[in-house]
Amino acid sequence: MKHLIVQIYEIQEPGEAEWLVELGVDHIGSVVLGPDGWKNPVLRDVVRLVRQSPAKSSLIPLLTRRDDVLRALDYYQPDFVHFCELIPLAPGQSAGRQERCAELTAIQELVKMEFPPLKIIRSIPVPEPGLPEPGPVREAILDAARLLAPSADLFMTDTLRGFAEAAAPQPVAGYVGITGEVCDGELARALVEASPLPVILAGGISPQNAFDAVGRVRPAGVDSCTQTNARDALGRPVRFRKDRDRVRRLLDEVRRAEEVYREEGR
């Protein structure tokens, strides 16, 4: 098994970025939280610090206007831009999915034209486990991947909360991710097997499940946000604060998976 990418979000301060680099994290991700206050010198320092290290910087711009996205990328200059807008997957939404993917392809192509060195990560929604009829959803996921692959460099699964519910709210409206909940492993594996691009597995990845998740899905890497966060007095994840021990144990489990599956020739 090749070296697996370990990607950690949401890193908003240079101090956290520095010790993540020291631990050996491969991708260190940050978030532009919206159009208000998008120009954040501290966040730019995070990106610069990471870019001067062996790690790669990744930036999620939670911005809806193309001009805002472009000016943010020009200001921060990350290694990767990570787009994670929602994509329709439900039966009967084929036309809406194709229209949405055309919109997303347009911004990806524009970014590639304006910033040729920049690589693009595109999140693909994957529902939670337990769908009664996963077949149509699997085909929708693969259809979205087929449409988006030519203008992207990496895919990443992200857990889609409440797929069976009408307009189920996501943690960030209009986007997929940071649920802290696992996605359907079989659907994620189907994406890995069919995708022309490397796929990073995200969705509830923790030190406790990373080894098994790698073995089941065989991704190009894993991503963790909520499950490597610090916890408050009630045990709830604290956004934008990482737990050094959780990150270290996650890295250990991913590197253990690399070694085991390399020895097995898998």
For every residue of 8-46, DSSP letters joined together read E----SHHHHHHHHHHT-SEEEEEE--STT---HHHHHH
- Tens digit of each residue's pLDDT (9 = 90 or more) over 79-90: 999 999 999 998
Residue range 5-263 forms a domain whose CATH class is alpha beta
- Tens digit of each residue's pLDDT (9 = 90 or more) over 92-128: 889 999 999 999 999 999 999 999 999 999 999 999 9
What is the percent of the chain where pLDDT is above 70? 97
pLDDT of residue 1 exceeding 70: no
Indicate the pLDDT class of residue 62, thresholds 50, 70 and 90. very high
Q: Which amino acid is at 14?
A: P
Facing residues of 221 across strands? 5, 200
pLDDT of residue 213 exceeding 90: yes
What pTM was computed for the model?
0.95
For every residue of 215-262, DSSP letters joined together read HHH--SEEEESGGGEEE-TTS-EEEEEE-HHHHHHHHHHHHHHHHHHH
Q: Where are the domains of the chain?
A: 5-263
pLDDT at 196: 96
Indicate the pLDDT class of residue 168, thresholds 50, 70 and 90. confident
- Tens digit of each residue's pLDDT (9 = 90 or more) over 27-36: 999 999 999 9
Return the ∠ at Cα 182 (arms to 27 and 26), rounded to 5°: 10
